């Protein structure tokens, strides 16, 4: 930037810049207030009421929250969801990073493979749920049939969305690929001249240089896993037949929330559930940011 | 006029000192074609895993109803009429148009507004920026 003639003019200019910046932020601010902030406050208010959509909400104080604590299905679904998240997120990050490393190394041919890995992401979540319901069927599913070909007795795959979601990790892979391509070549050259092994190059150059991307994907994948809904719902609760044959073992938190809200019309209770999940996600994110900031390297700083 | 110089202060057009030129030549990884072949094999293997569900889906769509759940990847018995039947059985065109309208509008709105908003976030650098973007993003 060119130095300005006087200090007064500079501050005027920066004030104008600030105004412009706010103007640019306006779509997000308005969108947040109308589509996120407003509904959140509404659900907070509803969480203290009994509301069945038809009659007016009735204030019941902390009743919903008390019920939340004593409902075994809440604890069960939360346990399932947390277990799935703890299993899926590290697995997804490791597999995505592996795929991204392969893609980066292969050079020119990466376009085709990148497209293949991204295809599942473009498949609607509902279609993915139904597709895997067929594929994972213990008796007639293709996956067990293929496992049988190599002599493995496939399990009855009752509740394994962790595997399904591994099919749709293309976004994370693409983010890693972009991050990997941004690491300056000179660092590897310098390391090789010093005689660093591939593992040490990976550990001390690649990982720190893409730590920003790793951190970002850790946070968004954790949140998305905790909020998993569409695939599980279509797989296990999509129609009466699957719903009746499904046990609590496949109950995910947001699926139970949806049932409470739109099947049993317990809007107040569902709102309380939503707020509990929000607080849990908030706590986990704050923790991740606190811990993460110690390890993450930001180019700009 | 001064001679044009590169970053190291060497005049351009002068021969590069021999030592500096040698370094990159010692660097290429050993057996590059073998590594490349291995990479391609690994990537192809992963691609097959990613593609099998699609292939099954396409072949299922080409089978008669009673054979949909077959565990084969081949469309036998072959019944491509499914694709005609579905157009007659449901108002697919309307559904496609609905999706198209929403999709195009959403893509335009999100691309435009994201570009603007990213500028705003970059200008302020407030800590909430990371979180708010993390909360609104779906992998």
Q: What is the pTM of this model?
A: 0.76
What would the mean pLDDT of A109-125 be, rounded to a whole number?
Answer: 88
Residue B50 domain-assigned?
A: yes
pLDDT at residue B103 greater than cutoff 90: yes
Residue B111 lies in a domain: yes
Higher pLDDT, B129 or A217: A217
For the segment A33-39, the average pLDDT, to the nearest whole number, is 92
| pLDDT at res. B25 | 45
Task: Give mean pLDDT, residues A110-136.
Answer: 85
Contact between A211 and A238 (Cβ < 8 Å): no
Collapsing DSSP to helix, strand or coil, B5 comes out as: strand
Residues B95 and B65 in one domain: no
- Return the HEC string of chain A: CCCCCCHHHHHHHHHHHHHHHHHHHHHHHHHHHHHHHHHHHHHHHHCCEECCCCCCCEECCCHHHHHHHHCHHHHHHHHHHHHHHHHHHHHHHHHHHHHHHHHHHHHHHHHHHHHHHHHHHHCCHHHHHHHHHHHCCCCCCHHHHHHHHCCCCCCCCCCCHHHHHHHCCHHHHHHHHHHHHCCCHHHHHHHHHCCCCHHHHHHHHHHHHCHHHHHHHHHHHHHHHHCCCHHHHHHHHCCHHHHHHCCHHHCCHHHHHHHHHHHCCCHHHHHHHHHHHHHHHHHHHHHHHHHHCCCCCCCCC
What's the number of domains chain B is made of?
2
Rounded Cα–Cα distance for residues A137 and A135 (Å): 6
Of the listed ranges A17-31, A81-95, B26-40, the one predicted with least confidence: B26-40
Residue B17 included in any domain: no
Q: Tell if the CB–CB gap between B131 and A103 is shorter than 8 Å.
A: no
**Hunting for tokens 């999100």 — which residue is that?**
B110
Which chain A positions have a beta carbon within 8 Å of B27's beta carbon? 189, 192-193
Q: What percent of chain B has pLDDT over 70?
A: 67
CA distance linking residue A101 with residue A119, whole number of Å: 19
The reported pLDDT for the residue numbered A102 is 92
Ramachandran area for residue B78 (φ above 0: left; ψ -120 to 50: alpha; else beta): beta
Mean per-residue pLDDT of chain A: 84
Per-residue model confidence (pLDDT) at position A279: 95
Instruction: Look at residue A196 and tell me whether its pLDDT is greater than 60.
Output: yes
Of A17, A119, A220, the CB nearest to B54: A119
Residues 6+ apart with CB under 8 A from A121: A168, A170, A171
A137 chain-B contacts, CB cut-off 8 A = 69
Predicted confidence (pLDDT) at residue A1 exceeds the cutoff of 50 = no
Q: Could you say which architecture CATH assigns to the domain A59-292? A: Orthogonal Bundle (1.10)
Say whether A24 and B119 touch across the interface (CB within 8 A). yes
Structure tokens at A83: 């277990």
Query: What is the interface pTM, i.e. ipTM, of the complex?
Result: 0.74
The mean pLDDT value for A212-224 works out to 92
Asked whether residue B1 is assigned to any structural domain, the reply reads: no
Asked if residue A283 has pLDDT above 50, the reply is yes
pLDDT level of residue A107 (50, 70, 90 thresholds):
confident
Size of chain B in residues: 139
Tokens of A142: 């293709």
Percentage of chain A beyond pLDDT 90 is: 45
State the Cα–Cα distance between residues A107 and A180, nearest whole angstrom: 12
Alpha carbon of A218 to those of A178, A221, A258: distances in Å?
16, 5, 26
Give the end of a domain, one of B65, B86, B107. Answer: B86
Q: A152-173 as b/e, with b when 16 or more CB fall inside 10 Å?
A: eebeebebbbbebbbbbbbbbb
Query: What's the DSSP call for residue B12?
Result: T
Structural element, H or E, at residue B71: none
- For residue B37, is it within any domain? yes
**pLDDT score, position A49:** 92
Chain B residues with CB-CB distance to A171 below 8 A: 139
With beta carbons under 8 A apart, name residues in chain B contacting A100. none
Give pLDDT, residue B21: 47
At residue B117 the predicted structure's pLDDT band, cuts being 50, 70 and 90, is confident
Q: Do A220 and B51 touch (CB under 8 A)?
A: no
The answer to whether residues A172 and A93 touch, using CB atoms and an 8 Å cutoff, is yes
Which residues of B fall within a CB distance of 8 Å from A165?
A: none
B19 three-class SS: helix
Confidence at residue A158, expressed as pLDDT on a 0 to 100 scale: 53
Q: Looking at the structure, tell me whether residues B122 and B69 fall in a common domain.
A: no
Query: Which pLDDT band holds residue A273 (cuts at 50, 70, 90)?
Result: very high
Q: What is the pLDDT of residue A221?
A: 92
- The DSSP element (H or E) to which B109 belongs, if any, is helix B92-124
User: Most A CBs within 10 Å: which of B43, B59, B107, as the mutation test of the A interface?
Assistant: B43
pLDDT in tens, A41-59: 999 999 999 988 888 888 9
Higher-pLDDT residue of B135, A117: A117
Same domain for B82 and B33? yes
Which tens digits make up the pLDDT trace of A138-191?
Answer: 666 777 777 777 766 666 555 566 667 778 888 999 999 999 999 998 999 999
Q: Identify whether residues B76 and B112 lie together within a single domain.
A: no
Q: Are residues B74 and B26 in the same domain?
A: yes
Q: Are B51 and B81 in a shared domain?
A: yes
Chain B residues with beta carbon closer than 8 angstroms to that of A31? 113
Tell which of B66, B86, B106 closes a domain: B86
Which residues fall within 8 angstroms of residue A292, CB to CB, at 6 or more apart? A215, A218, A219
The parent domain of residue B130 ranges over 91-139
User: Residues B101, B80: one domain?
Assistant: no
**Interface contact A150, partner B, CB < 8 A:** no
Residues B100, B59 share a domain: no
**B26 and B56 housed in the same domain:** yes
With H, G, I as helix, E, B as strand and everything else as coil, classify residue B11: strand
The answer to whether A109 contacts B43, with C-beta atoms less than 8 Å apart, is yes
Q: Are A224 and B138 spatial neighbours (Cβ–Cβ below 8 Å)? A: yes
For chains A and B, count residue pairs whose Cβ atoms are closer than 8 Å: 104
Among A11-15, A207-211, B103-107, the range scoring the smallest mean pLDDT is A11-15
B29/B80 same-domain check: yes
With a cut of 60, say whether residue A216 has pLDDT above it: yes
Which one of B36, B50, B124 would you mutate to disrupt binding with A, by most A Cβ within 10 Å of its Cβ? B50
Q: How far apart are the first and last CA of chain A?
A: 19
Q: Indicate whether A6 pLDDT > 50.
A: no
Closest CA to A228 of A270, A257, A265: A257
CA B75 – CA A92 distance, rounded (Å): 32
- pLDDT at residue A5, rounded to an integer: 44
At B80 the three-state DSSP class reads coil
Domain shared by B77 and B98, yes or no: no
- In the predicted structure, residue B108 carries a pLDDT above the cut 90: yes
Is the separation of the CB atoms in A100 and A180 below 8 Å?
yes
């Amino acid at each position: 930037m060119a130095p300005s003639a006087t200090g007064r003019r500079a501050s005027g200019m920066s004030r104008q810049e600030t105004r412009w910046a706010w103007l640019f932020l306006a779509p997000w601010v308005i969108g947040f207030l109308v589509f996120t902030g407003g509904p959140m406050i509404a659900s907070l208010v509803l969480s203290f009421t009994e509301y069945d959509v038809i009659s007016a909400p009735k204030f019941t104080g902390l009743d919903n929250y008390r019920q939340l604590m004593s409902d075994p299905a809440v604890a069960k679904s939360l346990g399932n969801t947390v277990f799935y998240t703890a299993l899926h997120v590290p697995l997804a990050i490791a597999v995505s990073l592996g795929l991204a490393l392969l893609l980066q190394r292969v050079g020119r041919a990466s376009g085709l493979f990148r497209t293949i890995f991204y295809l599942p992401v473009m498949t609607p979540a509902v279609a993915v749920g139904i597709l895997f319901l067929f594929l994972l069927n213990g008796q007639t599913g293709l996956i067990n049939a293929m496992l049988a070909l190599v002599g493995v007795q496939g399990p009855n795959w009752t509740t394994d969305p962790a595997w399904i979601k591994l099919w749709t990790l293309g976004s994370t892979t693409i983010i890693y690929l972009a991050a990997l391509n941004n690491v300056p070549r000179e660092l590897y050259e310098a390391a090789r001249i010093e005689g660093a092994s591939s593992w040490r190059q990976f550990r001390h150059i690649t990982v720190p240089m893409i730590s920003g991307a790793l951190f970002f994907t850790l946070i968004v994948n954790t949140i998305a896993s905790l909020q998993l809904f569409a695939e599980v719902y279509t797989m296990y609760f999509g129609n009466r037949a699957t719903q009746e044959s499904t046990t609590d073992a496949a109950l995910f938190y947001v699926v139970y929330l949806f049932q409470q809200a739109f099947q049993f019309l317990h809007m107040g209770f569902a709102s309380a559930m939503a707020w509990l999940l929000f607080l849990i996600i908030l706590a986990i994110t704050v923790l991740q940011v606190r811990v993460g900031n110690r390890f993450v390297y930001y180019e700009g700083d | 006029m001064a001679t044009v110089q590169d970053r190291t202060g060497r005049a351009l057009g002068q021969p590069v000192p021999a030592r500096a030129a040698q370094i990159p030549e010692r660097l290429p990884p050993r057996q590059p074609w073998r590594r490349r072949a291995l990479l391609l094999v690994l990537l192809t293997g992963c691609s097959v895993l990613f593609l099998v569900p699609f292939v099954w889906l396409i072949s299922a769509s080409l089978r008669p109803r009673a054979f949909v759940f077959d565990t084969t990847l081949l469309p036998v018995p072959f019944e491509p009429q499914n694709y005609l039947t579905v157009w007659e059985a449901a108002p697919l065109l309307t559904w496609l148009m609905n999706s198209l309208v929403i999709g195009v509008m959403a893509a335009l709105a999100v691309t435009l507004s994201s570009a603007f908003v990213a500028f705003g976030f970059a200008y302020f650098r407030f800590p909430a920026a990371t979180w708010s973007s993390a909360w609104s993003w779906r992998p």
